[in-house]
Amino acid sequence: MVKSLQDTTTLHNGVKMPWFGLGVFKVEDGTEVVHAVKNAIKHGYRSIDTAAIYKNEEGVGQGILEGIQEAGLTREDIFVTSKVWNGDQGYESTLAAFDLTLNKLGLEYLDLYLIHWPVKAKYKDTWRAIEKLYNDKRVRAIGVSNFHVHHLEDLLQEAVIVPMVNQVEYHPRLAQLELRSFCKEKGIQLEAWSPLMQGKLLDHPVLMEIANKQGRSVAQVILRWDIQNGFITIPKSVKEERIIENANIFDFELSPEDMKRIDALNDNTRVGSDPDNFNF
């Protein structure tokens, strides 16, 4: 059982990744993201997830630097993820995009670098570039985001390295069952983005009932469900009290019955784009 905010899962290459982190999608660069990252580190978070397209990598880097100084930590204590954007995919352009990301973050290396979306006819060349970055020891782990089973099967026909992580939309209404069994078989760790369905689940009656019984918020119940289902989770928040509340999920456990009730809410509803049909 995952017992604390610093607990990790071991990726298939031996790198340890925290089960819980801070997402910063749509968090404004500058003061807002700097404060969010610093507050997360202050309150025990050890994983920060950003992306080139979020346009806040500079602020994230500043928040990490200031946060570790104030908490008496080192760079090695923080697990940092970023992603190559669709317009930068391809072999040479991915290598250039990685350099730019590192430069903006002000870091010497990344802990995890992901292909953000499976851009047709490009993601295999992108993956070759990411494998090079991994072999050159510029990133400790590599993976993908928003890949369906068929994207992974296609990638694995030519990949030398199996992705360590697949970060996908995941919440009680999108249980990703086929993907879960495929990734488990291949040793690919799943990670949830939009675990709270952008707030659309917070008044769901089944979740509210379970939360009341536990004396918890609905968000805490969902995030606990993520982890008990073996998903790393990275809820986004900019409010300090919410950053604390979201992470306060390590001193209770959902019963098998409650897990099944939440699992049963699945109806394959997405709040984001379908990886088979996106136009960005």
What is the domain partition of the chain in residue ranges?
A: 8-200+231-237
Residue 1 above 90 pLDDT?
no
Give the chain's mean pLDDT: 98
Mean pLDDT of 71-89: 98
Which residues are catalytic, by number? 54
Predicted confidence at residue 89, as pLDDT, reads: 98
pTM of the model: 0.98
Q: List phi, psi (to 5°) of 80.
A: -115, 125
Exposure letters 190-224 (e unless 16+ CB within 10 A, then b):
bbbbbbbbeeebeebebbeebbeebebbbbbbbbb
Residue-wise pLDDT tens digits, 158-188 = 999 999 999 999 999 999 999 999 999 999 9
- Cβ–Cβ < 8 Å for 207, 201: yes
Q: Are strands 16-18 and 79-84 parallel, antiparallel or unpaired?
A: unpaired
Mean pLDDT of 117-127: 98
Longest Cα–Cα distance in the chain? 54
- How much of the chain exceeds pLDDT 70, in percent? 100
The span from the CA of 142 to the CA of 111, in Å, is: 8
> Per CATH, is 8-200+231-237 categorized as 3.30.530.20?
no
Predicted confidence at residue 215, as pLDDT, reads: 98
Residue 223 above 90 pLDDT?
yes
Q: In 3D, which of 24, 94, 18, 84 has the Cα closest to residue 60?
A: 24
The span from the CA of 74 to the CA of 76, in Å, is: 5
- Residue 144, burial from CB neighbour count under 10 angstroms (0-12, 13-18, 19+): buried
Q: In which residue are the tokens 């969010």 written?
A: 36
In 3-state terms the chain splits into helix, strand, coil percentages (rounded to 5) of 45, 15, 40
The span from the CA of 49 to the CA of 45, in Å, is: 11
277, β-bridge pairs: 274
CA distances from 152 to 8, 45, 159, 193, 221 (A): 24, 30, 10, 18, 30
CA gyration radius for the chain?
18
